[in-house]
Amino acid sequence: MPHLALYTFGVLKSPLADPGPRTREFYDIGEAVYRTISQHPGYLARAEAADGDRGVLFEADWGAWGQFAVPTWYDKGRTPETTALATTLSLWTDLRPAFDAVYTGVHRAALNRRYDWFERTGHPNYVFWWVSDGVIPTWRDGVSRLEHLHDHGSAPHAFTFHHAFAPDGTPMSTDAHHTWVQELRGVTRPDS
């Protein structure tokens, strides 16, 4: 059975190493979000650095998730002192559990505050794609899919909640999916 890969990427307004209140608040909320999402039904796994250091993204050992990579439009620092990004790579059983995890609870509260922490870049900040059972997506896969989404829009290769595709590549047009999209429109801003 295929699994759903999710890659997220955002450019922070200040570096991760910034000791200021905004960065501390983002970290504190981020820790709560990770704890909650990792316990959500349908969540399978996420990329985590072997050493667990949040500030050493580029040099970290990510194991089967591959070498760390970022989209071409990221133009900020790449050292522990200058890195200004937040990104995730995760696996899910299906679209509905991922939707529920992202748009409810503590993650929804964090999404409502995203512009306190993240720059508006004009680029998509997440992308989905299907992977075969047993396949672990890599950071490079996520970057490639996000860039494809930016350049070509939603397609079976790279898609969003708004324009999702089933594992066989057909557009998701079931009544349930339309209900999810309506829920999504009710909880997100038009520019997300």
For 49, residues 6+ apart whose C-beta sits below 8 A from its C-beta are: 56, 57, 60, 61, 62
- Model confidence at 173, pLDDT cuts 50, 70, 90, reads low
Residue 38 has pLDDT above 60, yes or no: yes
Q: Which amino acid is at 176?
A: A
Report residue 147's pLDDT band, with 50, 70 and 90 as the boundaries: very high
Predicted TM-score of the model (pTM):
0.90
User: Sorting pLDDT into bands at 50, 70 and 90, what band is 190?
Assistant: very low
Query: Does the pLDDT value for residue 176 go beyond 70?
Result: no
Task: For CA atoms 91, 12, 124, 146, give the dihedral sign.
Answer: negative
Which alpha helices (DSSP H) does the chain contain, by range? 21-38, 95-102, 105-112, 114-117, 139-152, 175-187
Report the mean per-residue pLDDT for the chain: 89
Integer Cα distance of 155 and 51 in angstroms: 35
Contacts for 145 with CB less than 8 Å, ≥ 6 apart: 5, 7, 127, 129, 157, 158
Rounded distance between C-alpha atoms, residue 160 and residue 154, angstroms: 6
What is the percent of the chain where pLDDT is above 70? Answer: 88
Hey, which bits of 42-101 come out as E strands?
43-46, 85-92
Rounded to whole angstroms, the Cα distance separating 149 from 167 reads 17
Q: Write the pLDDT tens digit of every residue in 68-92.
A: 999 999 999 999 899 999 999 999 9
pLDDT of residue 59: 86
Is residue 189's pLDDT more than 50?
A: no
For residue 28, name the pLDDT band (cuts at 50, 70, 90). Answer: confident
User: Is residue 186 predicted with pLDDT exceeding 70?
Assistant: no
CA distance 160 to 99: 10
